[in-house]
């Protein structure tokens, strides 16, 4: 079992090493190696999962130490991995969906000259994410966290010859550095407070720690999660990240990067449970972001950016659930796993549409594609039904469960959180229906010379598999509390549910809200003009500009930061450097003055001696008298 655990991240990392260092000699078969490596890691994860299930429920946690990493003072860190109920869920998602995306990429990147390098980056992404979720220590998790950031930078900017792609990669990298500082400080606080960064040591001790310290620790962890999972206020990088190849978008949004923040919150649940203020911030961030992303999605004409906004919103639901504590941890993971299926399917479907439409991303140039791309239309349609929560597809079970738990949180806060989640479901119904109509229905609006066609089977086969997951995943996880019971030893048992509103009433309200959103979209969605009309509302203008996320970051953080940096530079130049220069400056001035007395003429020296003698005689005469 420990051998399987060690092999999980090492297999894709070894594949990345071969593909990135092998050079052009691996071009002919690099894509095949990358895909085989991903599939092998999935097989290992599946075998490890089966072996885990064979153990008693209380003993489903296996750890291994690969080697002693480093020591310093009282800190000693081993490169230790642990497979338990929580990490195995992520391992299966990362490797399973990752393998399907690798297969899809064989066809999508067939004509790209950098295909081998692309598959090397994909392998690196999988390996880094597996290190992150399998880490048994916060420092080791940080190693995987930074590896994911590096891989995302390389993949988003893969087509670096495009200025927009290079800029998007840098933006994602910089925004995530803000979150990384939060995680680095959290590591420092953990070590200073508990004397260890191992999950088995500091998490059980969190309840007994000083509340103020644990609150700061929780807020720092939340800051890290906001950056990786594109939550307010660090969400601005996600839409621009669509500049990367579409398989990258699917991998980031479904199985890797944006799920890391949710994993961090759930894994460090005892910290947030011991810090109600930090837990309240988690709830607020989730509720605000699920609405934030949904509103942005309504105004996007780029199909990938509309789906990116939906990811922001759906991750908001997961963060909201994680903020509910033990009552919501399993629900957050259930929605995360189901979302991994239908969001990967939606992004791969969008890539299939682009493949058949000469890389066109503007939905205003689509229309009527259901007739010429039937497999893409059906699989995308199933993902659409899943994300808006139509029974019996995945999103119906997972999202409704989160809304029920939010309403049961208690008091006015519960109704506020539940109301935000219901409103988000209605808006999701609107913008996803708009995407569906503009892309697959109505009159064709293709550019002259465009000949849409269905994608090859190497691309459609993964889409079909993910469509099956879109149908079945939610019910499989939620019905009968299967996932809740499975995860209980790792994340804690959920308390008895308190239903402020009967479950059947919640279902009716949510479905009614979604139906209203769908109906409004059907009624209002038309073939929109390529040039946006000038008379749009302020809300629409704001949504098209991502609710001014970049402007807010620039005004609140960038400009004051730049001004502070300029002020510090001036202080250093004029203050610190000036103070340091006083002594040599004084010596230089004094030496310059003394130098004027050194003329080199004997008569000048004689005159000086005579004047000095006269002064001495005069002083002596005054003193004697």
Chain centre distance of CA 571: 37
Give the C-alpha separation, 31 to 19, whole Å. 9
Residues 6+ apart with CB under 8 A from 40: 11
- Contact predicate 262/336, CB 8 Å: yes
- SS3 state of residue 199: helix
pLDDT of residue 3: 85
Nearest to 340 by CA among 260, 463, 256: 256
- Contact predicate 274/207, CB 8 Å: yes
- Contact predicate 318/287, CB 8 Å: no
**183 token code pair:** 């995680």
**522 token code pair:** 């059907």
- Contact predicate 41/95, CB 8 Å: yes
Give the C-alpha separation, 591 to 597, whole Å. 10
Give the C-alpha separation, 197 to 271, whole Å. 13
Q: Report CA torsion sign: 443, 445, 449, 454.
A: negative
| Residue 530, φ and ψ in degrees, nearest 5 | -70, -30
Give the C-alpha separation, 372 to 406, whole Å. 43
Is the peptide bond between 392 and the residue preceding it cis, with omega within 30 degrees of 0?
yes
CB atoms within 10 A of CB 314: 27
Residues 6+ apart with CB under 8 A from 297: 306, 309, 310, 313, 427, 428, 431, 432
pLDDT of residue 303: 95
Rg (CA), the chain: 31
Task: For residue 166, count CB atoms less than 10 angstroms from its CB and return exposed for 0-12, middle for 13-18, buried for 19 or more.
Answer: middle
Give the C-alpha separation, 537 to 544, whole Å. 11
Residues 6+ apart with CB under 8 A from 486: 85
- Contact predicate 342/307, CB 8 Å: no
CA distances to 310, 396, 467, 503 from 401, in Å: 19, 8, 21, 9
Give the C-alpha separation, 124 to 251, whole Å. 12
Q: How would you classify the pairing of strands 75-83 and 62-72?
A: antiparallel
Q: At what angle do helices 411-440 and 394-407 cross, to 10 degrees?
A: 160
Give the C-alpha separation, 476 to 478, whole Å. 6
- SS3 state of residue 195: coil
Give the C-alpha separation, 419 to 442, whole Å. 34
**474 token code pair:** 């939610």
Tokens 């052009």 belong to residue: 24
pLDDT of residue 549: 82
- Contact predicate 247/256, CB 8 Å: no
pTM metric for this prediction: 0.90
DSSP letter (8 states) at residue 105: H
Q: What's 249-260 look like in SS3?
A: HHHHHHCCHHHH
pLDDT of residue 566: 86
CB atoms within 10 A of CB 180: 19
- SS3 state of residue 62: strand
Euclidean distance between the first and final Cα of the chain, in Å?
A: 109
pLDDT of residue 35: 97
Give the C-alpha separation, 206 to 203, whole Å. 5
Is the peptide bond between 233 and the residue preceding it cis, with omega within 30 degrees of 0?
yes
Residue 362's beta-bridge partner residues?
A: 302
**505 token code pair:** 């009433």
Residues 6+ apart with CB under 8 A from 454: 352, 356, 372, 373, 374, 375, 376, 460
> Running along the chain, 625 residues long, what does each successive block of 10 average in pLDDT?
90 96 92 97 96 90 90 84 96 96 96 95 97 96 96 95 93 92 96 93 94 96 95 91 93 90 96 96 96 94 94 96 95 95 96 94 93 96 96 94 91 92 97 96 89 95 96 87 92 79 90 96 76 65 83 80 84 78 78 74 78 86 77
Nearest to 93 by CA among 281, 306, 318: 318
Element (H or E) spanning 72, and its range?
Answer: strand 62-72
């Amino acid at each position: 079992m420990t051998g399987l655990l060690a092999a999980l991240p090492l297999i894709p990392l070894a594949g990345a090493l071969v593909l990135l260092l092998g050079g052009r000699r691996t071009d002919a078969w690099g894509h095949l190696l990358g895909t085989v490596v991903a599939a092998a890691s999935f097989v290992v994860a599946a075998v490890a999962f089966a072996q885990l299930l064979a153990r008693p429920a209380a003993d489903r946690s296996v750890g291994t130490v690969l080697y002693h990493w480093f020591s310093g003072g009282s800190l000693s860190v081993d490169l230790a991995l642990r497979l338990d109920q929580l990490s195995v869920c992520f391992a299966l998602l990362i490797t399973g969906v990752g393998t399907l995306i690798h297969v899809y990429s064989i066809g999508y990147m067939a004509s790209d000259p950098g295909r081998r390098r692309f598959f090397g980056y994909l392998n690196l992404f999988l390996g880094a994410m597996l290190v992150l979720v399998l880490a048994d220590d916060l420092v080791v998790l940080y190693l995987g966290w930074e590896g994911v950031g590096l891989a995302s930078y390389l993949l988003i900017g893969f087509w670096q010859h495009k200025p927009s792609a290079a800029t998007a990669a840098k933006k994602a990298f910089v925004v995530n550095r803000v979150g990384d500082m939060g995680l680095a400080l959290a590591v420092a606080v953990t070590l200073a407070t508990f004397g260890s960064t191992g999950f088995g040591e500091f998490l059980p001790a969190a309840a007994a720690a000083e509340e103020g310290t644990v609150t700061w620790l929780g807020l720092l962890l939340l800051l890290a999660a906001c950056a990786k999972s594109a939550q307010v206020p660090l969400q601005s990088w996600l839409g621009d990240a669509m500049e990367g190849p579409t398989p990258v978008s699917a991998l980031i949004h479904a199985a890797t990067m944006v799920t890391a923040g949710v994993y961090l919150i759930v894994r460090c649940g005892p910290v947030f449970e011991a810090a109600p203020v930090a837990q309240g911030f988690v709830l607020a961030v989730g509720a605000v972001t699920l609405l934030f992303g949904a509103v942005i999605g309504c105004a996007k004409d780029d199909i990938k950016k509309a789906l990116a906004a939906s990811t922001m919103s759906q991750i908001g639901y997961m963060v909201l659930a994680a903020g509910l504590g033990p009552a919501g941890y399993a629900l957050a993971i259930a929605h995360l796993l189901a979302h991994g299926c239908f969001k990967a399917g939606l992004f791969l479907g969008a890539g299939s549409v682009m493949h058949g439409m000469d890389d066109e991303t503007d939905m205003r140039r689509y229309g009527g594609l259901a007739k010429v791309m039937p497999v893409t239309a059906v699989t995308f349609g199933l993902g659409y039904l899943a994300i808006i929560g139509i029974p019996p597809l995945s999103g119906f079970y997972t999202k409704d469960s989160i809304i029920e738990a939010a309403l049961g949180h208690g008091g006015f806060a519960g109704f506020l959180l539940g109301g935000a989640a219901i409103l988000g479901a209605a808006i999701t119904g609107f913008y996803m229906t708009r995407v569906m109509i503009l892309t697959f229905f109505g009159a064709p609006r293709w550019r002259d010379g465009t000949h849409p066609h269905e994608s090859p089977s190497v691309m459609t086969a993964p889409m079909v598999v993910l469509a099956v997951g879109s149908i079945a995943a939610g019910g499989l996880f939620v019905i009968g509390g299967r996932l809740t019971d499975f995860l209980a030893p790792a994340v804690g048992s959920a308390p008895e549910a308190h239903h402020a509103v009967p479950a059947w009433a919640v279902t009716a309200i949510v479905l009614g809200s979604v139906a209203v959103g769908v109906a409004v979209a059907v009624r209002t969605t038309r073939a929109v003009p390529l040039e946006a009309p000038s008379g749009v509302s302020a809300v629409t203008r704001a949504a098209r500009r991502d609710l001014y996320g970049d402007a807010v970051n620039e005004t609140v953080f960038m400009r004051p930061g730049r001004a502070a940096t300029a002020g510090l530079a001036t202080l250093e130049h004029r203050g610190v450097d000036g103070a340091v220069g006083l002594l040599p400056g004084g010596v230089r001035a004094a030496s310059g003055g003394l130098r004027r007395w050194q003329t080199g003429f004997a008569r000048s020296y004689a005159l000086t001696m005579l004047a000095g003698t006269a002064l001495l005689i005069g002083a002596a005469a005054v003193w004697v008298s």
